[in-house]
Amino acid sequence: MKRSSWWLYTAGIAAYLFLYLPLVIVVVFSFNDSRLNAEWVGFTWHWYGVLFNDDQMIEAAWNSLLIGLVTSFISTVLGTLAGYAMYRYRLRLLPVLVLTPIAIPEILMGVSLLIFFVMINLTLGMVSIVLSHIAFCIGFVAIVVRSRLTGLDESLTEAARDLGATPWEAFRLVTLPLIMPGIVAGALMAFTLSIDDFVITFFTAGPDSVTLPLQIYSMIKIAVTPEVNAVSTLLMLLTLVLIVIATRLAPGAVRGE
């Protein structure tokens, strides 16, 4: 092996260890038979039992799941329409409006949404969180759908029109099934972003609307117990599964379609 290749492999391994070794430690210490994470004592499932009997954690998990499902559904519908409009009509203002929430820092978006909700006298709670997440996730769905449409063979839609299909029928029967993998990938991405979000949720959540990231944050301010590691492990597993599915369905991931 050449010296340059050896340094390249070493740098790559070091980078991956830096990224993933802390995650591995979190998973391992979720099975630690000790209340403190100072050292490994022994293997146990105790903390997963504690987790599933923690009413506050279960309520936060249900809140996050409900917010994620509603957010992914609405943002997928609006994001699909936005992505189709950006592809079909080449609008100049729409891409700026859709993609700006992605480009600006989350903390800036969270503060601006908080100010906006206060101005319109909207009580902070589940509704404000859902609206904030929708505004943040639409752009991601639109990007995925637009990318899918870019690789679409327009001759198929034209053939449907030549055979007598209306524009709506051509979209529903030809375009929509072809871009469905991109739509599903966008929905999974929106759900993942919503259920994992902390910064925007921190600014737009009310006192009675605690999500899973907020609950974890309130727990680690005191001490990082194995229960926190356990819920982090389950959340990490859910996120990884959704990311893998979204990657499989993303435009360009599936060949020979």
CA nearest to 129, candidates 186, 56, 64, 177: 64
Give me the phi and psi of 43, to 5 degrees please: -85, 140
Q: Is 164 left (phi over 0), alpha (psi -120 to 50) or beta?
A: left
The verdict on residue 225 lying in a domain is yes
- Domain range enclosing 141: 54-249
Q: Is 152 helix (H, G, I), strand (E, B) or coil?
A: coil
The verdict on residue 27 lying in a domain is no
The verdict on residue 3 lying in a domain is no
Tell me the mean pLDDT in the region 198-212: 89
The verdict on residue 236 lying in a domain is yes
For the segment 47-62, what is each residue's pLDDT rounded down to a tens digit? Answer: 888 888 888 888 888 9
Contacts of 219 (CB under 8 A, 6+ apart): 225, 227, 228
Taking the model in full, what pTM does it have?
A: 0.80
Rounded to whole angstroms, the Cα distance separating 145 from 87 reads 9
Residue of 201 and 35 predicted with greater confidence = 201
CATH at residue 67:
1.10.3720.10
Sorting pLDDT into bands at 50, 70 and 90, what band is 115? very high
Domain count, the chain: 1
The verdict on residue 47 lying in a domain is no
